[in-house]
Structure 1
């Protein structure tokens, strides 16, 4: 099963870059006999869907603002189980949610993943520039990487 691991976020917006940090950790720990696509991206929607074409499964690591979760909590979910916020998508009037983008890709005949797992890491609202993670979020990076690697092993 061909799998891609994607770290999402912006590495110069503090905790929003946690997806990239987790993917860096995964890259260091990935056994040589395990094959997976690995990317760090700063966009979602249709652009992200295009990077998933050709894979059977995707593991996406991203920061999430979740008031009910403690800072640095790790939330694991299938993309299909998450709310589809396409009506509230604000980054561009010409883009859509990942759920809608994957469905569009399927309808156009693209080989997009049947299974998309999201590893979300709870952060607070992003208010300043910086390349460092807050201590609580940085603490969860090894655990999130471990979870992603375990998911990668599961075929």
Structure 2
């Protein structure tokens, strides 16, 4: 089974960079591994279309604003719960697309090759101001996501 782990966010927008933080921490622990591909997606959601192919399992990490939960609250949801419906408009601006909509396009384009097991970790954030430092609450939540992913992949003893 091949797994892709994708981290999203903007590392110069404070807590929005938590997806990058998780990816960096996992890369330090997992390193090169034939069964796991780690992708720093930044804010480039359209590349999700291509990153999914050939993987059985996908784990995604991103920040979520306006969740009405305390900063650092961690959510784990099946991707089906957060998919945004694809738009059949041929003029969809690809650079303005978010990953949830990109997943919907992927599902449509990949058909039978679309992975069945896609889980999304979302971390509640407030601060997305220009800054490269994560708040302590969000960093702690990012560390929890790293541990959850290692447990999920049965790599906890790596």
Q: TM-score, normalised by structure 1?
A: 0.81
What RMSD in Å do the two structures reach over aligned CA positions?
Answer: 2.6
Count of matched residue positions in the alignment of Structure 1 and Structure 2: 147
Matched, 1:123 2:122: no
Q: Which runs of 5+ in 1 are unaligned?
A: none
Match runs of 1:43-62 below 5 Å: 43=43, 45-62=45-62
Alignment correspondent of 1:143: 144
Unpaired runs of 5+ residues, structure 2, are: none
Distance 2:114 2:139 in 1: 31
Q: Give the secondary-structure state (helix, strand or coil) at the position aligned to 1:47.
A: helix
The corresponding residue for 1:106 is: 110
Q: Is the 8 A contact 1:80 1:99 kept in 2?
A: no
Displacement after TM superposition at 1:77 (Å): 0.5
Assess, with a 3 A threshold, how the Cα gap between structure 1 residues 132 and 102 changes in structure 2: closer, same or farther: same
After TM superposition, give the deviation of residue 125 of structure 1 in Å: 5.3
Structure 1 position 25 matched with structure 2 position 29: no
Partner of 1:79: 79
Please give the alpha-carbon distance, in whole angstroms, between the structure 2 residues aligned to 1:6 and 1:33: 15
Deviation at 1:94, TM superposition (A): 2.3
Cα pair 1:59 1:116 within 8 Å, conserved: yes
Structure 1 residues 85 and 43, CA gap change in structure 2 (3 angstroms): farther
Distance 1:84 1:6 in 2: 18
